[in-house]
Structure 1
């Protein structure tokens, strides 16, 4: 009986020790330096890390993983699982003392997870010494470069006593820096979600064999759920091969993604909607002439709103290179459900509805709504009235609720949030449901995601909580009235430009009328403050009259109403005085 991914690694290492598990394109280029690791070697390196952790009595504790893109992260992550240590993937520091935002978040994560050890590559561990004053006391946290651990250590590894309920890792949600939430993902959750991904994406034994085990190409960050649970861990689940490279190398030259797909001919590859838009911007004729995308059967698209125009343009543009519309694969998932909840049908084009459905949030849907597919096996999806906790009729928009073995255990050390998010009950259904906070509707068994209940802002695949942006704005300049700022996103795509642009943030803030003369300076300060704190370029900062931002009767900012007023041009904008 397979109890964990550790068991599967042992099986693959025993039966196929020389098969390539992962290759890494060091420069992002297929003709550059390439590193590979076999299943036998992966098991040995993982056990060396695990033995080191076990010998120091760290089983059951948390280990922060700080690795640059590369194969060493996978060894460190699987080493934690093999030691019974809870892995905590995080963004590694870049070694710059002025990178205040990243260091602040890292410090908060280390403290929140109560990490006892930091695992990383040599350069990362060396970089930590340069910013030590920004981190917890070194006496409280052990730091080790796992690539320096000797292979011989693997011999002392002891198989851990893992159960389906044993926590495998903490997946921190990527949006809020002020209140990080670590999702408790168990070994049972991982195995179940790998089963869901395998079934929904058609990764059958026959397909794996047909592709010569070449199943994935991915540039996605491995410290986020989409890049980790999908390309990295489903590869291990299947005993297949994945080709990986750095997100930075993709962003620098998006065509590298398509070139790697053409070279290694995987079955599955994907990313957020913005990744497909970036490829469209770089689709020069000479690139198309050299590509063969005919092997690409699952081009998954998730983590942010899926745009009909993007799907259409990507198909039209890359059809000459062998890309087929049937490969487009919108899907839906979230860290709280380990990853995948719904996925499209393989070998069939995405389902689209030309008009949004009826319901209180129908106006937020695109003119064409894109299906994110059907729930995975043994996953229940319900669309619920978020106030009454009653199921909505088919076609009506409500909050998406999820039940199944992939749903995580809860939030780390946050009983209140766990109860509110993971313990919902629904009439007519047994068991507890996960409240996703996302809006959508069901039609003929397919899920259409239309928005976000709690105003989460998703830009270029990164989550931003509006309350964080609002707080930063108010702290940036004293002229902004506390509790009188609204942040939201708007879609800057226009029909005339063929769908270019994307979601961008807007901040609306109340200031006193006598400050109107400094409006330009205030706007610049707010923009700079948000850029520094969140790494986000704000599309617009609008200063309005006191008392003009819509609020609820209890004084809460009404962001949807503020957004509607912004788009409708009805904000009480404070005009700077003119001088004759």
Structure 2
């Protein structure tokens, strides 16, 4: 029985050395440059990196990984695991617009993790060298471009003594800003969550044989838990093939995602809800005519609210290309549980709960059922009691996938990872997410900290954001932030910030009125302020989630630049 992913890599390299593990589309295009990494080559490169780390006595220490998109990250990550070094995936500075944010985050992660070495690509390591005088955090840290580590080093690799409790890597949560929290993920956590992903997504030997081992296509960033634990590591766990390309290439041309699925015919592919919306925006007749999506059996959708309207429109739009609605696969997970907690049933359409108003596009979308060995309960966040079915509360999780805690943060670990509940054995993870259970299906309604209380009633920002986004086509899906501000004697009042397509700037006053009317009709709320801003203005996490707290701070600081509506303070 495998003790770690390192053992599985050794097995695959021995039994199917020439099989392609990862195929990387260097330009994002199927007819462009394609780089392939076989299991034998992956084992060699990983062991070479591992031996380099072992030679320097770095076992047990932390290594920051700063790679551009590409297969070299995978070799670096597995090299750390193969050396008993704790990997710390990070976001490399890239482009002027992201440089400051990426540098700030990188410095915080280096300091918090106490990284002793930085592994990266040539360009990143060269850039760090040029920035050394501005980065005192790099003092005493060795930086190496792993492409320069020769294959011959692999012969010096020594298999580490890994157990289920050995720390594999630190996954810094996507919302981390001033106070980063590194989730401590063990080798046991990784193996258990791979088991859950495999079972829930139906990755059986028969399915793998049926798709010729072509299991995944993914553009998801590999420094984030969904892109790493899902497509990258489940590929290694099962010994199959994944086709990968850069998230930047996806954002430039979302049609590349569907073209790659049509070309390589994987069983599984997916992303957050916004990815499906972007694909819809680029669904031109010529593209639809060129696609065959009939092989796509699991179109997973997670990491942000899943919209019923998106599922409906995606199915209708891509049905002529062979896409089937039963492939839609809403799921729920978080870094603190390694990744997956619940997922749909393969081949069964998503569960939708129509609201009392009958507006089908606003239906609540089920995120599936817990994997085997995973316990999900809904708890009263104000007291240790389990809530009955159908009642909204905080989602609590118990499983072998739940991580050890937060790196060097005893207080936060105690608050989030050590919850107990009468009538249940063991400790639970408090997710901070709100939801309810119905017939075993989990429905996620929002974040505990984002909950808005207006005039004594609870409102979820996701609901207000959806109502706003659907009132006019010029409002960008997944690019709206709702929050409340304190108006003194008036109490908490709702504010909406929404990104507006450039061609609709002249209609900003009309669109503002439509948003106010939509919120009033659907939620009985009078909106204090609506601010329409340029695309790319609303703060998001590294994984694309709306940062409502940062949006609220920008609003209160007066640092937003409205395109039309004048803010009323």
TM bracket (short chain): 0.7 to 0.9
1:442 match: 437
Q: What per-residue deviation string (whole Å, max 9, x for no partner) do you get for residues 70-117 of structure 1?
A: 000000000000000000000011275992222111101100000000
1:484 match: none
2:326 match: 326
Q: What per-residue deviation string (whole Å, max 9, x for no partner) do you get for residues 379-400 of structure 1?
A: 0000011011211110111100
The answer to whether residue 364 in structure 2 is matched with residue 369 in structure 1 is: yes
Which of 418, 427, 443 is the equivalent residue of 2:413? 418
Q: Distance in 2 between matches of 1:134 and 1:339?
A: 35
1:398 match: 393
Q: Could you say what secondary structure the match of 2:405 adopts?
A: coil
Is the Cα contact below 8 Å between 1:62 and 1:87 reproduced in 2? yes
Q: Could you say what secondary structure the match of 1:341 adopts?
A: strand
Which of 472, 475, 481 is the equivalent residue of 1:505? 481
Q: Distance in 1 between matches of 2:304 and 2:98?
A: 30
- Cα displacement (A) at 1:139: 3.9
Q: Could you say what secondary structure the match of 1:160 adopts?
A: coil
Q: Distance in 2 between matches of 1:37 and 1:16?
A: 13
Q: What per-residue deviation string (whole Å, max 9, x for no partner) do you get for residues 411-446 of structure 1?
A: 000000000000000111100000000000001111
Alignment of structure 1 residues 497-536 onto 2, 5 Å: 497=473, 501-505=477-481
1:494 match: 470
- Cα displacement (A) at 1:134: 3.2
- Cα displacement (A) at 1:133: 2.7
- Cα displacement (A) at 1:539: 10
1:355 match: 355
Q: What per-residue deviation string (whole Å, max 9, x for no partner) do you get for residues 214-261 of structure 1?
A: 000000000000000000000000000000000000000000000000
Q: What per-residue deviation string (whole Å, max 9, x for no partner) do you get for residues 260-299 of structure 1?
A: 0000000000000000000000000000000000000000
Is the Cα contact below 8 Å between 1:19 and 1:38 reproduced in 2? yes
Q: What per-residue deviation string (whole Å, max 9, x for no partner) do you get for residues 334-391 of structure 1?
A: 000000000000001001111379xxxxxxx984111000000100000011011211
- Are residues 104 and 456 of structure 1, via their aligned partners in 2, closer, same or farther at CA, if it must alter by over 3 Å? farther
Figure out how many residues of one structure are paired with residues of the other and give that number.
501
Q: Distance in 2 between matches of 1:419 and 1:24?
A: 41
Q: Distance in 1 between matches of 2:42 and 2:141?
A: 26
1:89 match: 89
Is the Cα contact below 8 Å between 1:97 and 1:130 reproduced in 2? no
Is the Cα contact below 8 Å between 2:481 and 2:538 reproduced in 1? no
1:381 match: 376
Q: Could you say what secondary structure the match of 1:502 adopts?
A: strand
Is the Cα contact below 8 Å between 1:309 and 1:498 reproduced in 2? no
- Are residues 50 and 164 of structure 1, via their aligned partners in 2, closer, same or farther at CA, if it must alter by over 3 Å? same
Q: What per-residue deviation string (whole Å, max 9, x for no partner) do you get for residues 147-169 of structure 1?
A: 11000000000000000000000
Q: Could you say what secondary structure the match of 2:390 adopts?
A: coil
Alignment of structure 1 residues 58-73 onto 2, 5 Å: 58-73=58-73
Is the Cα contact below 8 Å between 2:107 and 2:137 reproduced in 1? no
Q: Distance in 1 between matches of 2:164 and 2:336?
A: 16
Q: Could you say what secondary structure the match of 2:313 adopts?
A: helix
- Are residues 428 and 135 of structure 1, via their aligned partners in 2, closer, same or farther at CA, if it must alter by over 3 Å? same
Query: What is the TM-score of this pair, normalised by structure 1?
Result: 0.81
- Cα displacement (A) at 1:132: 1.6
- Cα displacement (A) at 1:499: 9.1
- Are residues 305 and 511 of structure 1, via their aligned partners in 2, closer, same or farther at CA, if it must alter by over 3 Å? closer
1:559 match: none
Q: Distance in 1 between matches of 2:539 and 2:338?
A: 28
Q: Could you say what secondary structure the match of 1:99 adopts?
A: helix
Is the Cα contact below 8 Å between 1:101 and 1:533 reproduced in 2? no
- Are residues 389 and 320 of structure 1, via their aligned partners in 2, closer, same or farther at CA, if it must alter by over 3 Å? same
Q: What per-residue deviation string (whole Å, max 9, x for no partner) do you get for residues 308-355 of structure 1?
A: 000000000000000000000000000000000000000010011113
1:40 match: 40
Q: Which segments of 5 or more consecutive residues in structure 1 lack a partner in the other structure?
A: 358-364, 458-486, 513-522, 545-571, 575-580
Q: Distance in 1 between matches of 2:120 and 2:451?
A: 31
Q: Distance in 1 between matches of 2:22 and 2:204?
A: 19
1:430 match: 425
Q: Could you say what secondary structure the match of 1:395 adopts?
A: coil
Q: Could you say what secondary structure the match of 2:477 adopts?
A: coil
Alignment of structure 1 residues 105-184 onto 2, 5 Å: 105-184=105-184
Q: Distance in 2 between matches of 1:250 and 1:45?
A: 27
Q: Could you say what secondary structure the match of 1:490 adopts?
A: helix
Is the Cα contact below 8 Å between 1:58 and 1:85 reproduced in 2? yes
2:446 match: 451
Q: Distance in 2 between matches of 1:115 and 1:541?
A: 32
1:515 match: none
Q: Distance in 1 between matches of 2:192 and 2:218?
A: 22
- Cα displacement (A) at 1:540: 11
Q: Which segments of 5 or more consecutive residues in structure 2 lack a partner in the other structure?
A: 453-460, 489-528, 542-546, 558-566
The answer to whether residue 302 in structure 2 is matched with residue 302 in structure 1 is: yes
